[in-house]
Structure 1
Amino acid sequence: MAENFKKSYRFAYLSSLYITILLTLALGVFLYFESILNLFFLIGFAVICYTICFLIVQYRVEKFIYRRVRKIYDDIEMLDVDAIGDSPVTTDMRTLIKEVEKFAQQRKSEIERLKIRETYRKEFMGNVSHELKTPLFTVQGYILTLLDGAMKDPKTLEKYLNRANKGVERLIYIVNDLDMITKLETGDLNLNYTNFDIVELVQSVFDLFEMKASKKNIALTFDMNYTEPIMVHADKERIQQVLSNLIVNSIKYGKEDGTTEVSIEDLIRNKVIVRVTDNGEGIAQAHIPRLFERFYRVDKSGSRKEGGSGLGLAIVKHIIEAHHERIYVESDYRVGSEFSFTLEKVKKFPVVDVGTKTA
């Protein structure tokens, strides 16, 4: 920490002035009565007296205040605070108060953020343990039943092994999602950018989940007939994952005989926005700020019955942000929801006619 400090001379200036005036007046009265009053001598005395008083008062005040201020800085420096640690020590009270207030406000904000993170950490650990515990106990139960003698029956053996396999598949699904979201958060997942038709990709996702949607008689449709391709520049595989997660969610929480509609619109110059809209359950406004958190579920009981790892929307958010794009959500409870995200549109270059000119 720098030892140079800002000096405020106001106190020393006024104190020295008062002392000089008092002593000069006293000396002038004394010389007058002694009949040896000399104006030049009196002015010289005033100048010397003022200089000496100013130096002594300023030095003593700074020494007195500096020791106490220095202790404050040292106490703060023990907390590894860069904001104050890099600033020079000042004996100016107004500046010091501002710095300490700024420091206190920063620490208060930091403590609040740490408390929020601690709450999220506890929730995350509880959710992870719950998500892993359920399939683990399921697999363990089937295996123990088989070991107790059920494996002697070929039909029971096959049935229980298939159920145990489903439990293992769910574990692998959760672990893979956790691995992916960790890579996305740390920036270790490389994106393979290509140019592709987003309309064709949406249609392929529709085809993939057509049977799942038909079980609830949910129509997967575009908002209009797209006759021409809309080319975007992104990681095709990851954007397919985004669309899959959003469409699967709309099917899970959609109502019977409902609709999941996808629209693709120009946003600004080189951007398009893809909207996935449904007329399902909708989401209460209180849940929307936390919707993209890992393992956060709006309906704790219903969500688990529907399956999934609880990481789908968190992965969606990280994939879109890894593309340096934005994702939005709008929802009305019991009316429906709309998830939308932006993508970079492939620039179209004008075709130049190089034909020969005619006279």
Structure 2
Amino acid sequence: MKLLSLLHRWTGGLVGLLLAIIGLSGTALLWEDSWILLDGANDAPVSSAAELGDAIEVAIETAPGLSRITFAGDEIGLHQAIYADGGGAYIAQDGTVVDRWAGPWGRPELWLFDLHHHLLAGEIGKTITGVLGILLLAFAITGTILWWRTRKTFRFRLWPARYTTSAIVRQHRDLGVVASPFLILIAVTGTLMVFPAISSVLLSPIAEPDAKPTLPEGLAPADRNTDWRRVMVNAQSAYPSAAARRLMIPREVGQPIAIRFRQDFEWTPNGRSYVWIAPDTAEIIATDDPAKGDRASAVVEKFYPLHAAKVGGLAWRIALTFAGFALIVLGLLASWSFWTAKIGSRPATVLRAKEATR
């Protein structure tokens, strides 16, 4: 138990600040729809398939190199266009461009998303966040084990009663055990999204052979001759009752246009129902319907909605907000108390070492 406590304390002291950053950025993103205060942000999504085609035209005219456009939905009533250079635009459902930015730092929700998922360090940062997820899972489990010995002294506090090492340790221990169920869920879902190979291994008993459609190559490019209204109307026919969520322009010439829809049974906000469209003829080339997928795919689809409180309503969002706050406090105070204790004890240690040599 002493070794477990030592590992818990040292590892927490080393990565606590990073976990606090993950907790702070994630908590802010939970309430993203509340602080994007742009005209039309609170409008209900009412655009038809043909009107979505018009929105694509506006996005293309706004700037060159359109990469994707996420259509207005329940969370935000604006279309979000993202361009190849990292810039973007918010477009109202009536076609008005309400905001335009030149790079990923132009909107707080974009760099907060990058901070939370990649620590602003690209793929390396993404790997680090995955490792932090594993460590968070370990912290929640080992912390609960260590708390059990002192359970009779439990007293729930959001903040330490005093800024002493003993008070911080007690508050850390008791707050951590209350938040641990939520932190475990956040850690598991986040880690499995970063490391899908782990998810594949764990879910292999209920997985079936992947039957993704084979997409043709050598198609005509998406250009000024593409009829975007026809593209969206034809794509909608594949899932008549589903909501169109995102259109992705092919990165390479000869590839089809990809459109994501969300069917009623899907938890993921942008859905995982795909339609691929030929840019020149607007004909449907292939579809991928999650309703026909295996149970493993259905489980994987739940990771992000649970992790980001995209389901469960206000109650689940508040629960994850508490978990995010707990992660911030636990991470910050763990690092602060660990390093101040180490620095504060250094002179005494050096003095004892000198006395021993006399």
Please give the TM-score of this superposition, normalised by the length of structure 1: 0.19
Larger Rg: 1
Structure with larger RCO (C-alpha < 8 A, sep 6+): 2
Please give the TM-score of this superposition, normalised by the length of structure 2: 0.19
